[in-house]
């Protein structure tokens, strides 16, 4: 079997039909199977999916939910030579799959091939910023395949597991670290792989979801997982959030010192309020929007707190061990 397309989902009844139908059309071009990996949806996601010719596996313990767990349980049952990870709010392009299969067939040093992503709902500051990043996406050899990609299953088997269940985000980057540490290469081609029908939340509602779902803890969890590993230095160098968090921590310290100074002399409070406003002014100038500038400041503070909280949070277990799951279809 050539390709297994794994659709990872949690309460995606609004999007699941579109994702499944696009995957089935794409898989017809290369041969293979479609697998729905469900993280215990409480809506009609599984019911809708069961009408289609695909396999369905589902997580058993809700405590095991995280961003990458669906990909991992799907990988555990996949039969394909190559594996594509598709979010349930995405639509797969079959032409990309054909090109990616050809590239992996031609170059056995490649562990994975990614394409470009098109965001269709750019309604908040997070997705506006990401749309700018996507416009400048690097083509050619890359360090990870954010947004999904087609992976060689034997490469994944060599590094032990697909996604680390101790991470709530950055799972694609952590996979890239492990693959490249074992001599594999990753490549992105200039061909649209997916359309993304993302969250319609407002900027700050989405930010709250990031914290509540521990997505914002991901950079700290990644640092914890890389600690003592041969790729620790590369992880620190490659994640911009660590450098930004050092700046934010310095800002926090300066505010504390300003407040302490204000206790002894009124000028300390002037310094405190000036320091308080500097990041907002910078954010507004950079983003050319008051709300987007405010979002940038709040987001960086929240993600810095996430780096600290994530690093010191407890691990779920050995990522080499599969999360418990059941086969539904």
Could you read off the pLDDT of 206-255 as tens digits, one per residue? Answer: 888 889 889 999 999 999 999 999 999 999 999 999 999 999 999 999 99
Find the range with the poorest average confidence among 19-28, 89-98, 107-116, 120-129: 120-129
Tell me how crowded residue 206 is: count the other CB atoms within 10 A of its CB: 20
Q: Which of 19, 23, 65 is closest to 41 using CA atoms?
A: 65
Residue 114 has pLDDT above 90, yes or no: yes
- pLDDT score for 200: 65
- Which residue do the tokens 């500097």 mark? 278
Please list, in sequence order, all residues whose beta carbon lies within 8 angstroms of the beta carbon of residue 269, skipping any fewer than 6 positions away: 258, 259, 261, 262
Residues 74, 162, single domain; the answer is yes
Q: What is the extent of the structural domain holding 76?
A: 3-200
Q: Please, which pLDDT band fits residue 128 given cuts at 50, 70 and 90? A: low
Q: What is the mean pLDDT of the chain?
A: 91
Could you read off the pLDDT of 33-67 as tens digits, one per residue? Answer: 999 999 999 999 999 999 999 999 999 998 888 88
Average pLDDT over residues 125-135: 57
Residues 11, 84, single domain; the answer is yes
- pLDDT score for 47: 97
- pLDDT score for 310: 97
pLDDT, greater one: 267 or 90: 90
- pLDDT score for 131: 57
Q: In b/e form, how buried is each residue of 34-63, taking b as 16+ CB within 10 angstroms?
A: bbbbbbbbeeebbebbeebebbbbbbeeee
- Which residue do the tokens 């067939």 mark? 105
Residue 141 vs residues 153, 179, 187, 315: alpha-carbon distances, Å: 19, 13, 4, 32
Residue 7 has pLDDT above 70, yes or no: yes
Residues 27, 63, single domain; the answer is yes
pLDDT, greater one: 289 or 178: 178
- pLDDT score for 313: 95
Q: Please, which pLDDT band fits residue 136 given cuts at 50, 70 and 90? A: low
**Final residue of a domain: which of 159, 180, 200?**
200
**Contact at 8 Å (CB) between 26 and 99?**
no
Q: Please, which pLDDT band fits residue 199 given cuts at 50, 70 and 90? A: low
Residue 114 vs residues 21, 56, 83, 273: alpha-carbon distances, Å: 20, 25, 12, 46
- pLDDT score for 316: 86
Residue 151 lies in a domain: yes
Could you read off the pLDDT of 161-187 as tens digits, one per residue? Answer: 999 999 999 999 999 999 999 999 999
**Final residue of a domain: which of 200, 230, 254?**
200
Residue 82 lies in a domain: yes
Residues 253, 185, single domain; the answer is no
Count: domains in the chain = 2
Residue 328 lies in a domain: no
Residues 33, 81, single domain; the answer is yes
Residue 250 vs residues 2, 55, 76, 276: alpha-carbon distances, Å: 51, 50, 44, 12
Residues 312, 213, single domain; the answer is yes
Residues 258, 117, single domain; the answer is no
H-assigned helices in the chain? 16-30, 45-49, 69-77, 94-106, 125-135, 153-159, 171-181, 203-212, 218-226, 232-238, 240-264, 267-287, 290-312
Residues 141, 92, single domain; the answer is yes
**Final residue of a domain: which of 200, 218, 234?**
200
User: What's 97's domain CATH number?
Assistant: 3.90.550.10
Residues 187, 312, single domain; the answer is no
- pLDDT score for 125: 58
Residue 326 lies in a domain: no
């Amino acid at each position: 079997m050539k390709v297994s397309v794994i659709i990872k989902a949690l309460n995606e009844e609004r999007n699941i039909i579109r994702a499944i139908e696009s995957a089935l059309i794409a898989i017809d071009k290369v041969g293979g199977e479609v697998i729905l990996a469900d993280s215990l949806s409480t809506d009609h996601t599984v019911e809708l999916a069961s009408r289609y010719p695909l396999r369905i596996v589902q997580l058993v313990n809700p405590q095991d939910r995280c961003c990458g767990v669906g990909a991992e349980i799907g990988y555990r049952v996949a039969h394909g030579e190559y594996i594509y990870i598709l979010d349930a709010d995405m639509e797969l392009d079959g032409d990309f799959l054909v090109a990616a299969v050809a590239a992996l067939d031609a170059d056995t040093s490649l562990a994975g091939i990614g394409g470009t992503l098109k965001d269709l709902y750019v309604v908040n500051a997070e997705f506006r910023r990401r749309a700018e990043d996507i416009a400048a996406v690097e083509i050619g050899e890359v360090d990870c395949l954010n947004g999904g990609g087609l992976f060689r299953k034997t490469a994944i088997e060599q590094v032990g597991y697909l996604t680390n269940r101790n991470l709530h985000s950055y799972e694609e980057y952590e996979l890239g670290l492990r693959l490249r540490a074992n001599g594999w290469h990753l490549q992105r081609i200039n061909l649209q792989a997916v359309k993304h029908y993302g969250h319609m939340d407002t900027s700050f509602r989405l930010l709250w979801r990031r914290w509540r779902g521990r997505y914002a803890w991901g950079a700290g969890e990644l640092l914890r997982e890389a600690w003592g590993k041969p790729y620790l230095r590369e992880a620190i160098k490659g994640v911009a959030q660590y450098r930004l968090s050092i700046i934010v921590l310095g800002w926090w310290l300066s505010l504390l010192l300003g407040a302490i100074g204000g206790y002894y002399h009124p000028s300390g409070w002037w310094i405190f309020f000036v320091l308080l406003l500097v990041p907002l002014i910078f954010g507004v100038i950079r983003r050319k929007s008051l709300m987007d500038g405010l979002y940038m400041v709040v987001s960086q503070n929240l993600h810095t707190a996430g780096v600290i909280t994530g690093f010191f949070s407890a691990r779920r277990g050995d990522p080499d061990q599969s999360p418990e799951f059941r086969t539904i279809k």
